[in-house]
């Protein structure tokens, strides 16, 4: 299936996302912060990235901006997964370059559907 990077500083959320996507056959690489996410996508480009917005150090929004500014990664599908649900937060997420925006709490089934939809579109 696909190689997916998951970045979330909350270990429970990170493990839940990793478990759900792994059970669907995806190869999941999980990291705890935005800087590690950027390092990982530059080291070995995944097929998709799922990033938390609020992480220590580099936020998910900053990570998306770095990814979008890298010509070799600019078309990488990115989903932001966050507790920030205000309309302005969603707008900021899309303005930063995200392809999708999912608010916490979230349904693992919905996450899986959105991941699959983005992977299908990217192919």
Q: What's the pLDDT at 84?
A: 85
Closest CA to 8 of 71, 102, 116, 121: 102
Q: What dotted CATH number matches 3-116?
A: 3.40.50.2300
85 pLDDT exceeds 90?
no
| CB-count burial class (<10 Å; 0-12, 13-18, 19+) for 67 | buried
The SS3 call for residue 26 is: coil
The pLDDT confidence band at residue 39, using thresholds 50, 70 and 90, is: very high
Q: Average pLDDT of 19-39? A: 97
């Amino acid at each position: 299936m696909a190689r997916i990077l998951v970045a979330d500083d909350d270990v429970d959320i990170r493990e839940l996302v990793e478990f759900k996507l792994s059970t669907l056959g995806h190869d999941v690489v999980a990291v705890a912060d935005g800087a590690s996410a950027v390092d990982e996508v530059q080291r070995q480009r995944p097929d998709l990235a799922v990033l938390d917005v609020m992480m220590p150090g580099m936020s998910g929004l900053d990570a998306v901006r770095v990814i979008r500014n890298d010509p070799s990664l600019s078309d990488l599908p990115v989903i932001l997964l966050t507790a920030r649900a205000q309309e302005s937060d969603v707008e900021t997420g899309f303005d930063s370059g995200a392809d999708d925006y999912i608010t916490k709490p979230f349904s693992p089934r919905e996450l899986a559907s959105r991941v699959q939809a983005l992977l299908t579109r990217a192919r």
